[in-house]
Structure 1
Amino acid sequence: MSAADVVEPSAPLSRRARKWRLGRERALTGLTVAGLFLAWLLSTHYGLVNPLFLPSPAAVWTAFVRTATEGYQGSLLHEHLLASLGRVLTGYVLACAIGIPLGIVMGLSRDVKAVFDPVIEFYRPLPPLALYTLIVMWLGIGDTSKVALLFLAALPPLTISSMQAAAGVDPRFVKAARSLGAGKAQLFRHVFLPACLPGICTGMRISLGFTYTVLVAAEIVAATAGLGWMIWDASKFLISDVVIMGLFVLALTGVALDFAIRRCERALTPWRFR
């Protein structure tokens, strides 16, 4: 094989090229959002869609202001938001505290995986509402059952991603560290943990999305506040402006939490973004 046949690896992008690419990506994102908003505005302005099913942006904004200042069913918008965030974050943090270490141990030990993997794989595909009925029978209709459902929704992605990350650590790194005299604690801190962090952070983002999708199911039983409950209650009375407004608030808070995880990922794994 001649030297001309060898494909040279692509050189790192210059700072100017990176800025141009980032600017192009942001422009495409902005155009996409603007295009969707324009389509929504025109379809409601010209009556292409029944306003009962798709209210105008102005109506949704009015619902936002009204709910923020006057409230919905006795609670202001920030009270609904805080109630939902409290449940989501409690279940999610508990799942992180249990699922990430458990997943790492499962990735390192076949015996531990043989014990816990069948349990997680059994309940993971179960519909949240079907699982929630059993949880309510066990824990009642209070916040404990809601947090438990959110915890169970968040646990499988965290456990599976952590397990795969731990199992995928290159054994050459372990041998090299041991040859330099590294003990078990040093191996975990300097080899396993840095190698697992990218996969763990990805699992945390996926898990947060699953937790949010289960929020409405968790709040439809015996709740009096929460974004999921507000959306569910408004849908029963066809108050579509409140439903869409609640979905926007729910989505924006989810994006904000996902952004926080990505910033933590950049701080914990800076070598991936160089």
Structure 2
Amino acid sequence: MHKSSMIVTLLTFGILLCVWAFVTGEGLISPLFLPSPGEVWHTFLTVAFGEGYQGSSLWGHLGISMLRILVAFGVATVLAVPLGLLCGAIPLLRAAIAPIVHFYRPLPPLAYYTLLIIWFGIGEVSKVLLLCLAGFAPIFLACVAAVERLDPAKLTAARTLGATGWKLFIYMILPSALPEIIVGLRTALGFIYTTLVAAEMVAAGSGVGWMVLDASKFLNSDVMVVGIVAMGITGILLEAAFRMLERWWVPWKGKGG
């Protein structure tokens, strides 16, 4: 981010914070619906470094949520990347699997979460599986599209030079498809993150999404704001980390590679 862009971003957040402080300080909105920045800060200190919330600190809730996200993301990646690349290269396999992915992809997570609970119980398996399904589709579709868009001339040239089988895949197909795969991974991580609250809605007793939902039952707006801000900042950090990894993994992106 350029220096000027960073200044504009900081000014924007500063203005929003000032408006928030003014609105709550003048009593224009009830603290029941929008607590003041001071109240939220005090609640953050209490939840993060004090007695916590419902027996666990903010870091404990965040840690549990991040573990669910990372496990689901890892499983979705391991399954979707090779399957998507194979489907991109083999039309008959794509015809068998892609329609199933296209069918469930637009469904709201809660539409099939109840089925997952019936099949796998109310424990961690159903939660992680829900997150995994949310992340599988964008990774799979990105991999399929990446292989379909490969330049046939490059593949022919590689075969002419003796590249076949795994060599063709490792040295030609995978590097060419990697930029789109990374985009699919970033998109999948976003879907998993937004599905987290749904995964923690049913029979959960921990997690930052559960913390926000539980606080809403008792109109603890300050705890809700703390949880929402924590999720937002964590999401920004995950996105920044992925952008950094993208620069490391695909340095040739945008350079004609």
Structure 1 unpaired stretches of 5+: 1-20
Two-structure CA RMSD over aligned residues (Å): 1.5
Q: CA deviation at 1:156?
A: 0.6
For residues 102 and 41 of structure 1, what CA distance do their matches in structure 2 show?
Answer: 51
**Residues 1:234 and 2:215 are matched in the alignment:** yes
Q: Does 1:272 align with 2:253?
A: yes
| Counterpart Cα distance in 2 of 1:225 and 1:181 | 55
Structure 1 equivalent of residue 19 of structure 2:
39
The TM-score, its normalising length taken from structure 2, stands at: 0.94
Alignment of 1:107-186 (within 5 A): 107-186=88-167
Percent sequence identity is 46
Q: Over residues 110-168 of structure 1, what are the superposed CA-to-partner deviations in whole Å (9 max), with x where a residue is unaligned?
A: 11111111111111111111211000000000011100110111111111111111111
Q: Give the alignment's TM-score, normalised by structure 1.
A: 0.88
Report the equivalent of 1:66. 46
Query: Matched residues in 2 for 1:192 and 1:263: separation?
Result: 23
Q: 1:29 aligns with which of 1, 9, 16?
A: 9
Q: After TM superposition, which residue ranges in structure 1, 4 or more long, deviate above 6 angstroms?
A: none
Amino acid at match of 1:142: G
- Rounded Cα–Cα distance in structure 2 between residues aligned with 1:223 and 1:269: 39
Question: Partner of 2:197 in structure 1?
Answer: 216
Alpha-carbon distance between aligned partners in 1 of 2:56 and 2:205, rounded to the nearest angstrom: 8
How far apart are the structure 2 equivalents of 1:110 and 1:49?
Answer: 58
Q: Distance in 2 between matches of 1:178 and 1:192?
A: 12
Aligned residues: 254
Give the counterpart letter for 1:218 in structure 2.
A
Max Rg structure? 1
Q: Please, which moves more after superposition, 164-173 or 29-38?
A: 29-38
Greater shift, 135-144 or 113-122, is seen at 113-122
Match of 2:169 among 185, 188, 209: 188
